[in-house]
A and B are shown apart, each in its own frame.
Chain A
Amino acid sequence: MSSFDLSVITQNIPWLWAGMQLTILLTLLAVAGGIIVGVILALCRLSPWWALSAAAKLYVNLFRSIPLVLAVFWFYFLVPIVTGHPVGPFYSVLIAFVFFEGAYFAEIVRSGIQGVRRGQLSAALSTGLSHVQALRYVVMPQAIRNMYPVLVTRSIIIFQDTSLAFVVGLTDFLTSANIVANREGRPVEIYCFVAVVYFLLCYAAEAGLNLSKRRVAR
């Protein structure tokens, strides 16, 4: 019992992998959905229509002022009321993540677009490009370049935050590790392994980001 026993990890890999699959699935769907909601919110915020802009601003500030765990609980109880039938913990957590992270992505997208010098749009329009063409060929490529490092960083945070899924009874990577640790009575090995896995994945994502940033830096 006192020695560090790695076999407890290798024996439980299938369990832990099942948890990791849920973590990855939840992260990917949350990031994709969050970006879609974020782009819509950002366009509303930047729209010249006052009411739309104010509504988007209220939404963003509201969600950025509450803890994620509250949003998870909130949607867990709210969604069945709205839809009229239970949707299960996975979908309620996913919806909570998408709406919550959408607020953060909205700010990233908005600052990315606003970070492009106003003169770039003027220059593009002055050559006869239409507004849509100017956005597509001149403004957006630069905006995406501005915002993608922050998008990746935010996605890494989401990856870590998906461990909150346990509060509604989902078995993500951390939760599955928790179960294994209790069952086997070897928390030290298991939690060390979990830390190493989280570290390696997040560090690899950061390293990849830095590498690609250097390549496009001009």
Chain B
Amino acid sequence: MIKIDGVCKWYGSHQVLTECSASIARGEVVVVCGPSGSGKSTLIKCINGLESFQRGDIVVDQESIKSPKTKIYKLRSRVGMVFQSFELYPHLTCIENITLAPQKVLKRSRDESIDRAKTLLKQVGLSAHGAKYPSQLSGGQQQRVAIARSLAMDPLVMLFDEPTSALDPEMINEVLDVMVDLARSGMTMVVVTHEMGFAQRVGTRVLFMDAGVIVEDRACSEFFDRPESDRARAFLSSIVRR
């Protein structure tokens, strides 16, 4: 489904990604973790072209990001993304947030989009909140609306960029539960997170990154039981201590 092949990225002379390679199959839930500043967010933003990179290539559903023939907007419409800070549109209601892209990009009718939005809101447990504005919702609720907004495009794969990092502790689980349901429904997911509980519940693989390098790429259970590198061991023990 996704093939990351030797991706290198520099900000000026500072290299943020070094020879990153990985492939992600349909239905996999890949957890990307590592210390802050290790390039996790940058890497997943390369997958939908929100960040550019100088060397290597990423192929999503047989389409190369780098190929001049690829229409990046088309590709993005099939790759959902959920952000750390939600990024709901504050001037639109929840329903309008969810229906904007289906109407403008997929050219679906208003009624059809609204029906779908209502179904999705029900799926994330927010049926009663469709007419509200984002500022009237809690952080956890906003993030669930953001997930619904991405799902409304019927994406092939969902990218999550630290979806629970900006949340108060009591709201983390309501978002993780939605993500777990999504994973169990068979959605292909790439999740940057420090929530190791989530990784252990539904993760199929872990990419451990440090200093712009994918240090380990292994099945979840193996990674947590027997991390190979010292860096991963140090990272895991620091997380557990927290």
Closest-by-CB residue of B relative to A142 is B91
The residues in B between 147 and 197 inclusive whose CB is less than 8 angstroms from any CB of A are: 149-150, 153
The residues in B between 25 and 60 inclusive whose CB is less than 8 angstroms from any CB of A are: 45, 48, 50
Interchain CB contact under 8 A, A127 and B105: yes
- Which residues on the A side are within 8 Å of B100 (C-beta)? 127, 129, 137-138
Looking at B74, B77, B133, the one whose CB has the most chain A CB atoms below 10 A away is B77
The residues in A between 125 and 183 inclusive whose CB is less than 8 angstroms from any CB of B are: 125-130, 133, 137-138, 141-142, 145
Interchain CB contact under 8 A, A129 and B87: no
Contact check: which of B50, B74, B88, B133 meets A125 at CB < 8 Å? B50
Closest-by-CB residue of A relative to B103 is A137
In angstroms, Cα B50 to Cα A91, docked, is 48
Residue A122 interfacial (CB < 8 Å): yes
Q: Give chain B nearest CB distance to A142 CB in angstroms.
A: 6
- Which residues on the A side are within 8 Å of B241 (C-beta)? none
Interchain CB contact under 8 A, B105 and A128: yes
Interchain CB contact under 8 A, A218 and B101: no
Q: Give chain B nearest CB distance to A114 CB in angstroms.
A: 16
> What is the size, in residues, of chain B's interface with A at 8 Å between Cβ atoms?
30
Residue A117 interfacial (CB < 8 Å): yes
- Which residues on the A side are within 8 Å of B45 (C-beta)? 122
Residue A204 interfacial (CB < 8 Å): no
Residue A123 interfacial (CB < 8 Å): yes
- Assuming the contacts A119-B85, A137-B100, A218-B135, asked whether A126 and B48 have C-beta atoms less than 8 A apart, the reply is yes
Contact check: which of B83, B90, B133, B146 meets A122 at CB < 8 Å? B83
Q: Scoring B residues 88 to 109 as 1 if CB is less than 8 Å from chain A, else 0, what string do you get?
A: 1111000000001100111000
Q: Give chain B nearest CB distance to A10 CB in angstroms.
A: 48
- Which residues on the B side are within 8 Å of A47 (C-beta)? none
Q: Scoring A residues 87 to 125 as 1 if CB is less than 8 Å from chain B, else 0, what string do you get?
A: 000000000000000000000000000000101101111
Closest-by-CB residue of B relative to A122 is B50
- Assuming the contacts A128-B77, A129-B73, asked whether A141 and B91 have C-beta atoms less than 8 A apart, the reply is yes
- Assuming the contacts A120-B87, A133-B104, A142-B90, asked whether A127 and B133 have C-beta atoms less than 8 A apart, the reply is no
Interchain CB contact under 8 A, A128 and B87: no
Interchain CB contact under 8 A, A138 and B89: yes
Closest-by-CB residue of A relative to B150 is A127
Which residues does A use to contact B, with CB under 8 Å? 117, 119-120, 122-130, 133, 137-138, 141-142, 145, 218
* Given contact pairs A128-B106, A218-B135, a sample of 15 additional A-B residue pairs in the complex whose CB atoms are under 8 Å apart: A120-B87, A122-B45, A123-B88, A125-B76, A126-B76, A126-B80, A127-B80, A128-B73, A128-B76, A128-B78, A128-B105, A130-B73, A142-B89, A142-B90, A218-B133
Q: Would you list 21 pairs from A and B whose C-beta atoms are within 8 A, ordered by A residue?
A: A119-B83, A120-B89, A122-B45, A122-B50, A123-B89, A125-B50, A125-B76, A126-B50, A126-B80, A127-B153, A128-B77, A128-B106, A128-B153, A129-B73, A129-B100, A129-B104, A133-B104, A133-B105, A138-B89, A218-B91, A218-B135
